[in-house]
Structure 1
Amino acid sequence: MARQDSWHGMVDLIERVVGEDDLLPSVVTGVRSTVREVAVLPTADIAGHTRALLAAATRALAARRGPTEAELSFVEELGSTRARQGVPIEAVLGAIHVAERAIWSRARDAAASSGIEAQVLLDARELYDDWAQAVRSRLITAHRAADTGRQTGDRDLVVLRRLLEGGSAATLAAAEAGLPAGGGLWILVARPDDSALEQSLRDQGPVLIAHLDGLLVGVFTRAPGVRAARRPGGGSTGPAGLAGPAEPEELGTVRRLALSALTAAESTGRTGVVHVADVAVLAAVADRADLTAMLTDRHRPARTELGAHAEAVAAAVRAWLESGRDVSVAAERLFVHPNTVRNRVQRFAALTGIDPADPFGAMNAWWLCRAWLASDDDQQR
């Protein structure tokens, strides 16, 4: 009876953890910042599927069973959907792993404070692992089936995938695509809805372009020229991240650098083609979700103290730094009085202990404010 009561206590604890208001936003933020291929998906999409998987796993734990056919049907639909969206199966599994780690970390901490025996927690985790293994197996099968159908007849996409695999396969794929690698190759990534940019890039030649993992990905024998960043009627295209040059076997890594450049460009409002070397610091910041978490945890009391004013203060500090510490320019950007910007910067410095006038303090201040604002955006969605 005592063991049965312990199990009921464990199930209640899991349900409480899953039901915490900040869990889902936290998990979604972690997934989007850690698994770059998934970050292109709408927040609501990630949240909806995560919520459904959490609910199914909780029901399975409560009943001490594996997944039902109804649950596996949902998993099949998820696998097919992600394949159609161009999200690789490795990224799908990586996103699930990030969510699992966050949830079980909370469950472990809650169990310790609730008096749940370690053996009961271990039993629950083993049962969950069995459930998750069956789910992953069905997910992989469904994704592969859908992905195979999606790739049929799309030669450029097939060649591009091989090119990004690295090694000798990449060298052969480059030769097949007519991409001489003597001077190195360049990779550009952009959002897939900018048709003007895509057409301009295709005119650069020789070039291999395809829609992959929810992005427009292009491989070039030389860096795309300035005209690739211009619309036919004038004006700049949306941002595109560029990295290179590199040998074919290194293009997998270079593609990730180009994606980092795209993310950095979007976060600072840049347009046109942006090389990762031009936004190196911003790209490094975007890639360190672990340090971002540490930074925000370190200054959580300051954000709590700011309360409803946190977003306005963060926006003022960020605008001030991005305007070269020019109060007037920042105020015009935010449609507020210059004194308002000064007061908010001073308030931020007083509560966090960060001196944004110091070069290193400025980077920490910008990084922290960017994280605060990104978190607010995710919660509003």
Structure 2
Amino acid sequence: MSSATEWASLVELVERVVGEEALLPSVLAGVRAMVREVALLPPADMAGHTRALIFAATRALADRRGPSEAELSFVEDLAVTRARQGVPVEAVLGAIHIAERAIWARAREIAPAVGVGPELLLDARELYGDWAEAVRFRLITAHRAVAADRGRRDDERDEAILRRLLEGGSAAALAAAEAGLPVTGGLWTLVARAADLRAAAALERVLREQPPVSCARIDGLLVAVLARPPASRVGRAGPTAGLAGPVEPEELPVARRLALDALAAAESSGRTGVVHIAEVPALVALAGRPDLAEVLAERHRQAWHVLGVNAAPVASAVSAWLEADRDVNAAAEKLFVHPNTVRNRVQRFAAVTGVDPATTFGAVDAWWLCRTWLARP
């Protein structure tokens, strides 16, 4: 066991080492060069935490003890800070290890000059090892606790920011800046159903590969605000989605409504992938006038009764034929019927209603009428 005098000389050695003006900058330079994950942290941040850890370790050596609760609380704060900065715990431990090696290497260099022998230095190193082990355990525990909770908090933060974006006005511009989205130049809004959790999760993963993006599940929908149109692979990643934009942040409520309209129009016409509102304006316009749809259905109420049990098959054939750009074979394949069956049903519809689906406006009226018929219980 070392005497009090010997231990005092050892503490003086350690204090001399950590007090060298050039040591801390040299240690930080080595850490930043060897641990890529901390290289982008502010130098003042790293210097402050490193200096505090060195001071705590020196005090523990002087008192020949393990870490105090106050020192461990500081370690927890460091772990939480680094976890929230996205620095992996392995990188934090690696940075501390590099700093430790540099300090003890310097202590071995000057120990003979101040009368500290190798055995005393080894005693100190072992005591420091016990102190450091407790510190590492608390750091790992605190960092993992933050990491485990991080996904939930990130989701909550994303949802909160997204809701503010969708409020529009000045609040949306501030929320866009917070999310890293451009406040000028236009934003895009995407909406998809979130009922299929696996498909929605796949779509969300691909969307997040195109930052900056704010994405969350709101009221049964997967909603995203993007800085640019989604990449083509987004359309292959999950469910059908409606898209609107570009708009300024203040206009995001309108964009969300238009994206939802595009989604409904895509679903009603059997389209898949990402569908921009500009691709389905007529369908959206028709769907937005249920009053006119009722007028149209009432106008042809007698035709529905004349068709009787064949009314729904006829309406399905006309809809499929028009949605297939009047391709009889494609419509027949979709309906699992013979092409002649499609032709006969289209002709029957025209004869009973007096609407010619082969003409431009007749096709619009025919599709609208058939979709209205089919939507009825």
Q: Deviations over 1:258-308 (max 9, x none)?
A: 011111111222221111111111122222222222221221111122121
Distance 1:263 1:213 in 2: 16
**Structure exhibiting the larger radius of gyration computed from Cα positions:** 2
4+ aligned runs moved over 6 Å, structure 1:
none
Higher relative contact order (CA 8 A, sep 6+): 1
Cα displacement (A) at 1:152: 12
What residue number does 1:314 align with? 315
Please state whether the residue corresponding to 1:373 is helix, strand or coil.
helix
What residue number does 1:177 align with? 179
What residue number does 2:193 align with? 191
Please state whether the residue corresponding to 1:183 is helix, strand or coil.
coil
Q: Is the 8 A contact 2:243 2:274 kept in 1?
A: yes
What residue number does 1:372 align with? 373
Q: Deviations over 1:236-269 (max 9, x none)?
A: x321111000001101011011011111111222
What residue number does 1:278 align with? 279
Q: Deviations over 1:59-80 (max 9, x none)?
A: xxxxxxxxxxxxxxxxxxxxxx
Please, which runs of 5 or more residues in structure 1 have no aligned partner?
Answer: 1-150, 232-236
Distance 2:205 2:292 in 1: 38
Q: How does 1:49-198 map to 2 (within 5 A)?
A: 154-192=156-194, 193=196, 194=199, 195-198=201-204
Q: Is the 8 A contact 2:189 2:259 kept in 1?
A: yes
Please state whether the residue corresponding to 2:280 is helix, strand or coil.
helix
1:203 aligns with one of 188, 192, 209: 209
Change (3 A) 1:309 1:248: same
How many residues align structurally?
A: 222
Please state whether the residue corresponding to 2:263 is helix, strand or coil.
helix
Please, which runs of 5 or more residues in structure 2 have no aligned partner?
Answer: 1-152
Please, what TM-score do these two structures have when normalized by structure 1?
0.55
Please state whether the residue corresponding to 2:358 is helix, strand or coil.
coil
1:230 aligns with one of 236, 248, 269: 236
Q: Is the 8 A contact 2:286 2:368 kept in 1?
A: yes
Distance 2:155 2:209 in 1: 23
Cα displacement (A) at 1:328: 2.7
Please state whether the residue corresponding to 1:190 is helix, strand or coil.
strand
Letter in 1 for 2:331: A
Q: Is the 8 A contact 1:189 1:217 kept in 2?
A: yes
What residue number does 1:353 align with? 354
Please, what TM-score do these two structures have when normalized by structure 2?
0.56
RMSD: 2.0
Letter in 2 for 1:241: G
Letter in 1 for 2:306: E
